[in-house]
């Protein structure tokens, strides 16, 4: 029987695929910096880390060797922290490459954007991947970027492409590329669609920009969970620039 570990209340996303130290001097770029940040965030209440790795030039990569190194270092330094890696495409990777890195790394936890992995709900390769991951005890958090993607997600489940058991999702509020801040009122359409489709989800949200804390507070109020950190926002609730990721985690944990 595949293992199911519920999402922690707070997951930190300390760097993402796009920002660099030019955006904030405390944003972790190297594996060592990411591990140090993870330890500091764990102390402030983050139960998991959403991990990205960068190449020597600082660019986002889906690199199996770097992921294995990151996971090993994190397991040594913060063994109680859940480690989730990303398959984010950022316009550089296709679905075959995303599936390949997961097969090579064999992580315990991974995030997968439904729109990237499953452009067609009847895709045989996607179905094989999702069912293989479940049998391999690789727990997937499905990223949904808009409320109507919940309907597509439901259709993929009904078609047998995605196993229905132990569904974990992330609702995305706002956008990085278009500088659209997340707002608390953007959550309700997701919850309405979730109810309408009858899905039982272990759900969390992330929110971009200065509205991050307010959005996460609303998620907690509605029974959800939070992903917080410099991938999505550099700012505290009062609009001040956060000192580091640990400060962002501390503010959200205080809610």
Residue 121 confidence (pLDDT) above 70:
no
What is the pLDDT confidence band of residue 97, given thresholds at 50, 70 and 90? Answer: very high
Give pLDDT tens digits for 122-175. 689 999 999 999 999 999 999 999 999 999 999 999 999 999 989 999 999 987
Report helix, strand or coil for 37: helix
The share of the chain scoring above pLDDT 90, in percent, equals 92
Angle value at C-alpha 37, between 76 and 81, nearest 5 degrees = 45
Cβ neighbours of 253 (radius 10 Å): 15
Q: What is the mean pLDDT of residues 223-231?
A: 98
Fold that domain 10-254 belongs to in CATH? TIM Barrel (3.20.20)
Strand pairing partners for 42? none
> Closest Cα partner for 98 from 59, 58, 67, 121?
67
* Mean pLDDT calculated for residue range 27-45: 98
How large is the average pLDDT for residues 230-254?
A: 97
Task: Calculate the CA 78 to chain-centre distance.
Answer: 19
Banded model confidence at residue 3, pLDDT cuts 50, 70, 90:
confident
Specify the range with the lowest mean pLDDT, choosing from 73-77, 152-156, 179-183, 215-219: 179-183
Q: Is the pLDDT of residue 178 over 70?
A: no
CA–CA distance, 86 with 117 (Å, rounded to integer): 12
Residue 120 in this model has a pLDDT that exceeds 70: no
Rg (CA), the chain: 17
């Amino acid at each position: 029987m595949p293992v199911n570990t519920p999402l922690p209340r707070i997951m930190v996303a300390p760097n993402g695929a796009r920002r660099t130290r030019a955006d904030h001097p405390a944003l972790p770029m190297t594996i060592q910096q990411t591990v140090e940040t993870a330890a500091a965030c764990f102390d402030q209440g983050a139960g998991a880390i959403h991990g990205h790795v960068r190449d020597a030039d600082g660019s986002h990569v889906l690199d199996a060797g770097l992921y294995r190194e990151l996971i090993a270092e994190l397991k040594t330094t913060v063994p109680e922290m859940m480690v989730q890696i990303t398959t984010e495409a950022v316009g550089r990777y296709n679905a075959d490459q995303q599936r390949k890195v997961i097969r090579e790394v064999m992580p315990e936890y991974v995030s997968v954007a439904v729109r990237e992995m499953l452009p067609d709900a009847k895709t045989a390769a996607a179905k094989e991947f999702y069912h293989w991951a479940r049998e391999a005890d690789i727990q997937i958090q499905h990223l949904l970027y808009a409320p109507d993607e919940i309907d597509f997600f439901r259709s993929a489940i009904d078609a047998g492409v995605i196993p229905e058991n132990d569904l974990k999702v992330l609702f995305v509020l706002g956008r990085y590329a278009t500088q659209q801040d997340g707002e608390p009122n953007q959550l309700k359409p997701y919850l309405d669609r979730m109810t309408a489709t009858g899905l039982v989800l272990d759900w969390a949200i992330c929110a971009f920009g200065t509205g991050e804390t307010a959005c996460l507070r609303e998620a907690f109020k509605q029974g959800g969970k939070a992903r917080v950190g410099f991938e999505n926002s550099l700012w505290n609730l009062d609009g001040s620039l956060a000192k580091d990721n640990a400060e962002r985690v501390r503010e959200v944990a205080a809610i």
